Each structure stands twice: as structure tokens, then as C-alpha cells.
């Protein structure tokens, strides 16, 4: 079985101006954007909330935790599903130091991948007329001397 070639991300990590609505959404409500990405990817919508909870628990117990688990797992899974170039090491770095930009990039990627292509099916069509065949009717001809009229489509000849 041949491997599919690896592709690049559809947009860069800091390409907010390609789709400003995504970055504005992420800026004003980051957790909402992360939950949307998770849902579109087919995971539980609340999965990114683990990042918030794990940070709070780590701070409470004074544990060093810098890798958000949901952001890292979503990024790695998205790269794996769509055969995107990268490595786990890069995913960790991006998830640690630029988590919201990572969620925005994943959102833009899913929007691009979920676009449905327009399919145009061009096949010859057979048209059947539901109307009956036309019937020719013989119309009486006015035989007054000097006055001849031909109905449309009828040719009159003399013998």
C-alpha cells in the first residue's frame, strides 16, 4: 500500500489576515473557538476545556505543566488524519508557546478541508415531449375568382 504524500498546512500559524473572522472569534472567545474545532473534528466539544482544568489543577498542586494536552492531541491527530507535514516536537512547541494561534490554524484547516467541491455531471439528456404529435387539418379554400389565400404551411397548386 503506497503512502499518500505529505502536504503543508493550508495556512500558516500566524496567517490571521487570511481568515480574520477565525482569529477574531479566537481572540474574543478562545475556549469557544477551541470547542468548535474539537466538534468539527469529530471529538467531544468539551475536550479543550481539559486544557483549562489541567492548568488549574497543576497550579493548585504546584506542578509544572506547560503542554496543554487537548491542544497537543488535537493538533497531532489533525496532522495525522490529513497527512500534514510536521512532527510531534513541533506540535509540542506550538501548543506550549502559541496555543491560541494553533487553535486558529486548526480551525482554518478544518474549514478548508470541509468545503464540498462542486460536482457538475454532464450527460446527454433525452427529452420526451408530453404533447401529442401535431395534426394537419385541411381547411376549405376560398375559391372566389381573383381571391386566393393559402393558410400557413399549405401550398396550393392548380391543375
Kindly give the residue spans of alpha helices, DSSP state H, lying in 43-142: 49-60, 69-81, 88-97, 99-113
For residue 80, the model assigns a pLDDT of 94
Query: Considering the domain boundaries, does residue 67 fall inside one?
Result: yes
pLDDT, position 92: 92
Domain count, the chain: 1
Q: How far apart are CA 44 and CA 23, in angstroms?
A: 22
Q: Averaged in consecutive runs of 10 residues, what is the pLDDT profile of the chain (159 residues)?
A: 81 83 73 89 89 80 81 94 93 90 91 75 69 59 56 61
The answer to whether residue 156 is domain-embedded is: no
Q: Does residue 95 lie within any of the structural domains? A: yes
Instruction: Determine what percent of the chain falls in helix, strand and coil, rounding each to the nearest 5.
Output: 45, 0, 55
Is position 15 within any domain?
no
Q: Give the model's pLDDT for residue 124.
A: 72
For residue 104, the enclosing domain spans 20-113
- Please tell me the pTM assigned to this model: 0.64
Amino acid at each position: 500500500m503506497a503512502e499518500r504524500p505529505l502536504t503543508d498546512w493550508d495556512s500558516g500559524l500566524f496567517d490571521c489576515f487570511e481568515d480574520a473572522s477565525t482569529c477574531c472569534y479566537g481572540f474574543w472567545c478562545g475556549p469557544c473557538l477551541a470547542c468548535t474545532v474539537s466538534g468539527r473534528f469529530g471529538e467531544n466539544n468539551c475536550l479543550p476545556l481539559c486544557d483549562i482544568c489541567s492548568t488549574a489543577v497543576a497550579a493548585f498542586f504546584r506542578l509544572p505543566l506547560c503542554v496543554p494536552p487537548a491542544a497537543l492531541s488535537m493538533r497531532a491527530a489533525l496532522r495525522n488524519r490529513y497527512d500534514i507535514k510536521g512532527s510531534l516536537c513541533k506540535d509540542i512547541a506550538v501548543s506550549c508557546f502559541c496555543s491560541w494561534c494553533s487553535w486558529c490554524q486548526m480551525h482554518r484547516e478544518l474549514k478548508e478541508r470541509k468545503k464540498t467541491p462542486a460536482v457538475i455531471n454532464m450527460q446527454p439528456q433525452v427529452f420526451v415531449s408530453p404533447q401529442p404529435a401535431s395534426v394537419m387539418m385541411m381547411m376549405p379554400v376560398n375559391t372566389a375568382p381573383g381571391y386566393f389565400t393559402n393558410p400557413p404551411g399549405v401550398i396550393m397548386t392548380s391543375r
